[in-house]
Structure 1
Amino acid sequence: MKSLDENYYNPFFSHIYVEEEIADHPRVKKILARFENAEVVYIRHYKDIFCRRRQDYEEQHHAQNLILAKKTGSLIYQGAPVCQNFGNTWFYYTSCMMNCIYDCEYCYLKGMYPSANIVIFVNIEDIFKELHQMLSEHPVYLCVSYDTDLLAFDSVTGYVREWEHFVLEENKRSPNPLKIEIRTKSANEKSFESLIPDENIIYAFTLSPQRVTEQYEHNTPSLKQRISCVTGAVQKGFPVRLCFDPMIYCPDWQQEYDEMIKLVAKEVPMDQIFDVSVGSFRVSQDYLKKMRKSEPYSAVVQFPFQNDSGVYHYGKELTEQMEHYLTGKLLQYVPEDKIFRWES
């Protein structure tokens, strides 16, 4: 965890902003009950707070506040080109929340959003309704935890359980299958004690070498903690995807990733892993511009990346070297058809 000056920063979630329209929503009342000491401020629209000008993302991350809102307009979106689709034609994502309690220096959310405060959209039922309509037309592979970490925040929202219930029920009645991915850096082992394993709900754990975790993934669980959570989930029968994505360059990256894979293979039953994702860091040029402005001293953000068609990356030679090296290590434990590399 980052050390915070308690005399300078407000406590986390000291203020909760609530859209007036959804003030009486049962989920709003449930969340507010968890933060009895928070100051509740009622607002017209979440963007009045979230999209204010001249906000300092890094400063806000030291003392995040909550914004409870209603999501409107289109609720499900086409999968982004920089994300892996794992061979799924009907690839989409949705956002039940915006922003994350973790503070990874290389996170694209820092370039995507003007605020570090966390937005929870309480009308998840509307997302379910739109998804139900889509499933009447074709199958759907849906990523539900790209713009946040649902598992890490599940004690507040309960959204992982809600998604589980929806998938289980929808696949009983829909003419087309629904599969979702819940991506996380959490080590929330207790969640898996009450969840139900299902082949259509993939828990995708992002794993990084401990050096990368310590230097760039602030507030996140250690590599060993994440591996312990992965092992427990696999042993309980949950489909688990291991995501070595994004790979982050550091001077001794080969040794760091070699040691990580050895530790993973030692602790995790690799023959029971659903699949594996490999990809090096990449981000849109617009996002990186904002990230570099807010994090001028971050080695991972200030790296001299190469720009190809609006996407910054390590360059073809280094990218191929890193991803090929890691894939080669993984092939000792995982069949080739279970290893997915991101391709531009």
Structure 2
Amino acid sequence: MRNLSDFGASSRWSNFSHLYIERGAKEFPLTRRIRERFAKARVVEIDDYKTVFARPRQRFQAQKESMKLILAVKKDRFLYDGSGNSQDFSLEDFHYNTLMFNCVYNCDYCYLQGMYPSANIVVFVNLEDYFTATREGIRDRSNPAQPFYLCISYDTDLLAFESVVPYCRAWIEFAREEPDLLIEIRTKSAAYHAIRDLPPTDRVILAWTLSPEPVAARYEHGAAPLRRRLEAVRSAIDDGWPVRLCFDPVLAVPYWTSLYGDLVEEVVRRIDPAEVRDVTVGAFRLSKDHYQRMKRQRKDTPLLYGEFAQEDTTVTYPAGRREEMTAFMRRRLGDHFGEERIFAWT
């Protein structure tokens, strides 16, 4: 699959041949911007995005080869409580939002293919409604002594899409106005250049998911190679941004100890650990429902066919293997970052 880590070249957008636009979304500024960007795309007006996105008997992986873009107005649920499958960093008011459905990348282990019926990308264009809901969340948060912690790149890779939908930029500027807000933008892209002109703020954490290069090349289709992610990390740190490094998910692939040990050493050769805000670690895990749907669809990847165990509603590696992996990563990372800056999902 071609590398989609930098969407600056218009030729790379040839797969967005169709724009499906809700009639209620037609007059939003972002809709006009996207229509200008994809001037040759066929435009289809629809009443509700679900008539395209949620129709039955779609083939997720087939659609990944020719994704379409759906522009919609989100009607409700502008904030969600953080998932138990994510680290909360000891913050009580942990939330995420869904500015987009789906991702331009196609990682073998991604839960989105078990969550959504379609691989087409939905962009919600009514950004001000999200801002309003976030202000209300900040006001009503349970612990005023802590910030309202919001992940905005949870069900997508927002930075990878920034040249088309400049939502990272908009949220960074919004965060400057909200002293009690803390945002995380997580990415596998190298597209830091899309926001590099913005002054840094300690209210926004830029987080990069890092995988060993053989793992990234085989299982993280379209995402930036490790080298380019680390170059982006280096640039963001040099510019003064708070940066989080995410060794998550850790995959039980052959020779995983060697691969992930080498990954840690490569990271600390390129990045001074003292300049990193914190680090996350987590073994591969999925919700039971997402795992079952993915396994039915994906006969082409070994990642879903290893030894797994179900714990409540989560499918992950058996406890012994998971504890071994977490302990290994804690030990290797702790040598450089210190235990107090490592947040692990266990």
Q: Sort the TM-score into its range (normalised by shorter chain).
A: over 0.9
Alignment partner, residue 6 of structure 1: none
**1:328 lines up with 2:331 in the alignment:** yes
Conserved in 2, the CA contact under 8 Å of 1:280 and 1:319? yes
Conserved in 2, the CA contact under 8 Å of 1:70 and 1:123? yes
Alignment partner, residue 198 of structure 2: 195
Structure 1 residue matching 2:304: 3-state secondary structure: coil
Match of 1:252 among 250, 255, 259: 255
**1:234 lines up with 2:242 in the alignment:** no
Conserved in 2, the CA contact under 8 Å of 1:150 and 1:160? yes
- What's the CA shift string for 1:209-229, capped at 9, x where partnerless? 111111111011111111111
Please give the root-mean-square deviation of Cα atoms over the aligned residues, in Å. 1.3
Alignment partner, residue 170 of structure 2: 162
Alignment partner, residue 15 of structure 1: 18
Runs of 4+ in 1 over 6 A off after TM superposition: none
Deviation at 1:308, TM superposition (A): 1.1
Conserved in 2, the CA contact under 8 Å of 1:231 and 1:269? no
Conserved in 2, the CA contact under 8 Å of 1:192 and 1:233? no
One-letter identity of the residue aligned with 1:263 = E
Percent of aligned pairs with the same amino acid: 40
One-letter identity of the residue aligned with 1:229 = A
Alignment partner, residue 115 of structure 1: 118
Conserved in 1, the CA contact under 8 Å of 2:307 and 2:318? no
Deviation at 1:2, TM superposition (A): 4.3
- Name the stretch that deviates more: 297-306 or 224-233: 297-306
Please give the residue correspondences for 1:212-291 in structure 2 after superposition, counting only pairs within 5 Å: 212-291=215-294
Distance 2:172 2:245 in 1: 20
One-letter identity of the residue aligned with 2:184 = E
Stretches of structure 2 lacking an aligned partner (at least 5 in a row): 4-12, 142-146
One-letter identity of the residue aligned with 2:251 = I
Structure 2 residue matching 1:85: 3-state secondary structure: coil
Distance 1:133 1:252 in 2: 48
Deviation at 1:304, TM superposition (A): 2.6
One-letter identity of the residue aligned with 1:104 = C
Please give the residue correspondences for 1:39-58 in structure 2 after superposition, counting only pairs within 5 Å: 39-58=42-61
Alignment partner, residue 144 of structure 2: none
How high is the TM-score relative to the length of structure 1?
0.94
Structure 1 residue matching 2:67: 3-state secondary structure: coil
Conserved in 1, the CA contact under 8 Å of 2:204 and 2:242? yes
One-letter identity of the residue aligned with 1:97 = M
Aligned residues: 332
- What's the CA shift string for 1:102-134, capped at 9, x where partnerless? 000100001000000000000011010011112
Stretches of structure 1 lacking an aligned partner (at least 5 in a row): 4-9, 172-176
